[in-house]
């Protein structure tokens, strides 16, 4: 049956029950006094509900009102993360710098767009998805961090690819906070029993598929998760592994119709058309546990779920390198697409220098290590913080063997360059994959059907931002900057220091 069947639900519950944490709200030591009732009456429950509702209006924790006397920071994260950050800022950052900080929870990052329009913005915002800084920067709301003299020296703390989506023209408008990784995970017990080794390249994947399929098993590609829409992290890696590009250098057109890009898109389609990978996987977690998909691509969240949610598999699986594409010279490109979170400074802040001092402190090795271990020791091993600071990742509390794989993989992290109208490209790549796999359309034909539509939307958004006039004449240039530019700038900064 499907993963939402009653049988599988009961099986999952039975296997998880024995590992459930036991928690106590209160312990009573009593003698002759009568114990309180184990359940609150309706009046107590109603009173507690009203108190919780009232707190959302009056508690400072849920307010994003700015205090002009301090550095105001809005954070799009859970209360657990925000409370810890406030405590660390009070005891370490303010003590070291004298800069007072007020950190507020921002439940919806879209509030920033409305805040810009209303003139109600913080000095700093944290926990932003990779698309938000570009949207705010394109509207002139953010401060260009490259204006700070030491920016490129600070940038060297991070994996170059995670800063790519924060570039707008020649400026960088956010600093990375967290990362994600993609890696291969495989069941060692099954691979050993049928005489297979972990695949290193996509060619290796196609080599092991006949054996897996002969035993009623298959390989999991993360594009199979969910139904319908496919995101960049699912569609674009093989484009980059085949040296393709998504945009032309001037950012005014898509480049998915160029030969290398077409090759990458066709390679992705062939995995499902020629080699019969599953097109839809409701739950890789369950399929991995029940051995129908004993190998596949996982992200950090998948890794945490398997690590903590499948204790019966302890010692029966390993991580390995994300499958790459072998080049003519024998090297292997392992580019994968992943999104972390970032922090920004608003251009209209009156505390630009203080804000930068805070971001440097927040992404520093010691701060990130303290935050990582305190979060884990306070809330449990399922609270994993994958810092953007590479040195902090190296000393993080992952199992040593897994950590070595993660450290190798994050070198290949590469987020997608942003361009006005790029959402149409993401949607079109999804449509192209569906056309190839479900309708049998070749990659070239499916791409040709979408290119005109993508370019039209890019031009429309460029016109809204003042790059074209009403007659379609180009008024100013736009440049796409990718991971190579980030590496070039950080290397140049190192040489200047030396």
> With 80 as the cut, is the pLDDT of residue 84 above it?
yes
pLDDT tens column, 4-53: 555 555 555 555 555 555 556 677 777 777 777 766 777 777 777 677 66
User: For residue 323, what are its two tokens?
Assistant: 């499958």
pLDDT tens column, 53-62: 666 555 555 5
The answer to whether 246 and 233 have CB atoms below 8 angstroms apart is no
- What span, in angstroms and rounded, lies between the C-alpha atoms of 159 and 407? 10
For the whole model, what pTM was predicted?
Answer: 0.87
Give me the residues paired with residue 172 across strands: 167
- Those residues with Cβ within 8 angstroms of residue 220's Cβ, 6 or more apart along the chain or in another chain: 277, 278, 281, 284, 287, 288, 293, 295, 296, 297
The answer to whether 92 and 367 have CB atoms below 8 angstroms apart is yes
Which residue from 298, 296, 289 is spatially nearest to 271, judged by alpha carbons? 296
pLDDT tens column, 286-306: 999 999 999 999 999 999 999
Give me the residues paired with residue 254 across strands: 247
User: For residue 377, what are its two tokens?
Assistant: 């020791």
pLDDT tens column, 439-485: 999 999 999 999 999 999 999 999 999 999 999 899 999 999 999 99
- What span, in angstroms and rounded, lies between the C-alpha atoms of 46 and 40? 10
Cβ-count burial 312-332 (b if 16+ within 10 Å, e if not): ebeeebbbbbbbbbeeeeeee
Which pLDDT score, from 0 to 100, does residue 117 have?
A: 83
Inter-CA distances, 380 with 170, 316, 365, 376, 392, Å: 41, 23, 22, 5, 19
Which residue from 137, 194, 60, 396 is spatially nearest to 404, judged by alpha carbons? 396
- What span, in angstroms and rounded, lies between the C-alpha atoms of 274 and 233? 22
Domains of the chain: 60-179+338-410 (3.40.190.10), 183-337+420-464 (3.40.190.10)
Which pLDDT score, from 0 to 100, does residue 130 have?
A: 93
Which residue from 133, 71, 59 is spatially nearest to 354, judged by alpha carbons? 71
What is the share, in percent, of the chain residues with pLDDT greater than 70? 91
Which pLDDT score, from 0 to 100, does residue 56 have?
A: 53
Which pLDDT score, from 0 to 100, does residue 132 have?
A: 95
- Those residues with Cβ within 8 angstroms of residue 117's Cβ, 6 or more apart along the chain or in another chain: none
- Cα distance between the two ends of the chain: 63
Average pLDDT over residues 249-256: 94
Helices then strands (H, E): number in the chain? 21, 13
Give me the residues paired with residue 187 across strands: 317
The answer to whether 408 and 401 have CB atoms below 8 angstroms apart is no
- What span, in angstroms and rounded, lies between the C-alpha atoms of 2 and 278? 14
User: What is the rounded radius of gyration, in angstroms, for the C-alpha atoms of the chain?
Assistant: 25
- Those residues with Cβ within 8 angstroms of residue 398's Cβ, 6 or more apart along the chain or in another chain: 406
Which pLDDT score, from 0 to 100, does residue 1 have?
A: 43
Inter-CA distances, 8 with 283, 289, 295, 309, 448, Å: 11, 12, 20, 15, 43
The answer to whether 124 and 344 have CB atoms below 8 angstroms apart is yes
Which pLDDT score, from 0 to 100, does residue 39 have?
A: 67
- What span, in angstroms and rounded, lies between the C-alpha atoms of 494 and 498? 6
Which pLDDT score, from 0 to 100, does residue 244 have?
A: 98
- What span, in angstroms and rounded, lies between the C-alpha atoms of 151 and 296? 38
Taking all residues of the chain, what is their mean pLDDT, rounded to a whole number?
Answer: 91
- What span, in angstroms and rounded, lies between the C-alpha atoms of 141 and 143? 7
The answer to whether 440 and 432 have CB atoms below 8 angstroms apart is no
Cβ-count burial 185-206 (b if 16+ within 10 Å, e if not): bbbeebbeeeebebbbbbebbb
């Amino acid at each position: 049956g499907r993963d939402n069947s009653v049988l599988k639900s009961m099986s999952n519950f039975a296997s998880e029950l024995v590992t459930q944490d036991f928690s106590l709200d209160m312990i009573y030591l009593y003698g002759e006094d009568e114990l309180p009732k184990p359940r609150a009456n309706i009046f107590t429950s109603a009173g507690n509900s009203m108190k919780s509702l009232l707190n959302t209006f009056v508690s400072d924790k849920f307010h994003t009102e700015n205090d002009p006397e301090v550095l105001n920071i809005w954070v799009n994260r859970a209360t657990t993360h925000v409370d810890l950050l406030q405590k660390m800022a009070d005891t370490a950052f303010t003590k070291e710098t004298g800069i007072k900080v007020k950190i507020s929870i921002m439940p919806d990052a879209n509030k920033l767009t409305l805040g810009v329009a209303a003139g109600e913005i913080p000095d700093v915002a944290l926990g932003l998805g990779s698309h938000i800084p570009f949207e705010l920067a394109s509207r002139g709301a953010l401060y260009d961090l490259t204006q700070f003299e030491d920016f490129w020296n600070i940038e060297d703390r991070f994996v170059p690819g995670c800063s790519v989506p924060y570039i707008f023209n020649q400026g960088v408008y956010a600093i990375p906070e967290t990362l994600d990784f993609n890696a291969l995970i495989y069941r060692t017990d099954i691979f050993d029993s049928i005489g297979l080794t972990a695949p290193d390249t996509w060619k290796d994947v196609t080599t092991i598929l006949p054996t897996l399929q002969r035993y009623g098993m298959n390989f999991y590609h993360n594009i199979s998760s969910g139904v319908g829409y496919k995101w960049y992290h699912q569609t674009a890696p093989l484009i980059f592994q085949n040296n393709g590009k998504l945009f032309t250098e001037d950012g005014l057109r898509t480049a998915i119709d160029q030969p290398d890009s077409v090759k990458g898109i066709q390679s992705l389609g062939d995995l499902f058309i020629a080699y019969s990978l599953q097109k839809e996987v409701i739950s890789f977690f369950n399929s991995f546990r029940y051995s129908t998909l004993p190998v596949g691509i996982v992200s950090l969240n998948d890794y945490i779920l398997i690590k903590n949610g499948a204790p019966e598999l302890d010692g029966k699986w390993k991580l390995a390198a994300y499958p790459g594409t072998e080049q003519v010279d024998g090297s292997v490109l392992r580019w994968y697409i992943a999104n972390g979170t970032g922090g920004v400074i608003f251009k209209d802040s009156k505390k630009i220098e203080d804000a930068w001092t805070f971001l440097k402190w927040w992404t520093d090795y010691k701060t990130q290590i303290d935050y990582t271990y305190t979060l884990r020791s306070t809330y449990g091993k399922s609270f994993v913080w994958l810092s953007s600071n590479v040195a902090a990742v190296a000393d993080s509390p992952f199992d040593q063997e897994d950590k070595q794989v993660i450290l190798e993989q994050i070198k290949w992290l590469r987020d997608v360059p942003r361009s006005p109208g790029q959402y149409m490209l993401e949607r079109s790549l999804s449509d192209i994959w569906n056309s190839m796999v479900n309708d049998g359309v070749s990659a070239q034909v499916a791409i040709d059907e979408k290119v005109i539509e993508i370019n039209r939307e890019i031009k429309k958004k460029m016109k809204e931002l003042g790059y074209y006039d009403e007659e379609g004449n180009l008024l100013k240039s736009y440049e796409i900057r990718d991971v190579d530019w980030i590496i070039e700038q950080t290397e140049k900064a190192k040489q200047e220091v030396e």
